[in-house]
Amino acid sequence: MAAMSPLFGRKTPRSPRPSGAPQAGPPPPSSARPEDHLVTLVRKPGCHLCDDAQLVVEKVCGELGVPWEQKDITEDARLHDQYWEQIPVVLVDGRQHTFWRVNEERLRRALTDRCA
């Protein structure tokens, strides 16, 4: 079974999601504090949008005390296969938050709105 790629309108094979793979959509509500979240920036070297995204992630996570990490799609075949059309990709707690452009206020809300 094939699905249309939302990016380029071409058919892409649909494969089952490997266990442990990031899930799409917002994380479920929780009572976690901002610093209990983990932000992951999926990127590749030489990507100017990735550099822009990193500045936003560093700023927001630094201000809120949220740990963050970066992963390089050139070093991880699974991430490359999943995200090569979308980088940079930002994951919050393993779930896709956004891709291409990172909105500072939207990321801040994602890290604080679920906190009680």
Any idea what DSSP says for residue 27?
Answer: P
Any idea what DSSP says for residue 86?
Answer: T
Any idea what DSSP says for residue 25?
Answer: S
Which pLDDT value is given to residue 32?
A: 67
* Number of Cβ within a 10 Å radius of residue 45: 10
- Select from 32, 36, 28 the least CA-distant residue to 115: 32
- pLDDT-derived band at 113 (thresholds 50, 70, 90) equals confident
Rounded distance, CA 7 to CA 22, Å? 19
Q: Where are the strands (E) in the chain, listed by range? A: 2-4, 11-13, 23-24, 39-43, 68-72, 89-92, 95-99
- The pTM of this model reads 0.71
Which pLDDT value is given to residue 1?
A: 41
**pLDDT at residue 31 tops 60:** no
- pLDDT-derived band at 35 (thresholds 50, 70, 90) equals confident
pLDDT tens-digit map of 44-85? 999 999 999 999 999 999 999 999 999 999 999 999 999 999
Average pLDDT over residues 1-15: 44
